[in-house]
Amino acid sequence: MLAGYQEDLAYIHDVGFGAFSSESAPGLLEILHQKGINKGLVVDLGCGSGIWAKALTQAGYDVLGIDISDAFLDLARKKAPKANFQKASFLRVMLPKCDAVTSIGECLNYQFDQHSLGEIQKLFAHIYESLKPGGVFIFDIAKPGYVSGMNPQKTYSQGQDWAILLEKEEDQKTHQLTRKMTIFRKIGNLYRRSEELHRVQLYKGSEILQHLQRVGFQVRVIHGYGEFKFSQAQVGFIATKA
């Protein structure tokens, strides 16, 4: 199986599941304004198809989007032509000096490049050093208990020219979530089939809070971006460099 948002899944994620980014954008902009960050460079880790990057550029910010998926970056460059984009792992990228860093939609949970909680703390330290004084790191994660009810859980989603069969299974001991997807996308008069397997490491909010504080951040835990609220298995953080 392929991993990492190939062409068809990237397209479907953009047209069928982009609401998380678009509905989060007003609340995220409000947080930046509340922090006195009304301009400057925002680095978006796991930028996806560029929905949030587009909102940032329209609000007058400079944007650097980072993603590991070529297909996502192709979409993002078309959607947000005023932003800059780079293909990289968020764990390996060299971050420039910036006013804010964001990572929305559980990006830090994804295991496309295998990593541990210790490497997440190194990422937090890297972000802290890259932020200007008063800069902010805004992000959300998925927590244990993501799969409720049947485990594994099978669901089905469809749009005008696509469909996905999804099986989610959560390991209660390792807190790892596995998503197996069978994907159908209409190309001309036919449907193209592909498969992807994603592994997602679920983190406890208390663990993430402690790691942020250890590197020097002042942290506020949030349960949504403005009027947009997370599910019960998600939690967000506003981490400020004092």
* Domains observed in the chain: 7-144+202-241 (3.40.50.150), 153-200 (2.20.25.110)
Q: Identify the sign of the CA torsion 110, 120, 227, 72.
A: negative
Query: Is the pLDDT confidence value at 1 over 60?
Result: no
**Cα separation of 159 and 89, whole Å?**
30
Residue (of 23, 16, 18, 17) closest to 225 by Cα position? 23
Query: Is the pLDDT confidence value at 201 over 70?
Result: yes
149: confidence class by pLDDT, cuts 50, 70, 90: confident
Pinpoint the alpha helices (H) of 35-161: 51-58, 70-79, 117-130
Please report the pLDDT score of residue 22 as a whole number: 98
Write out pLDDT tens, residues 13-36.
Answer: 999 999 999 999 999 999 999 999
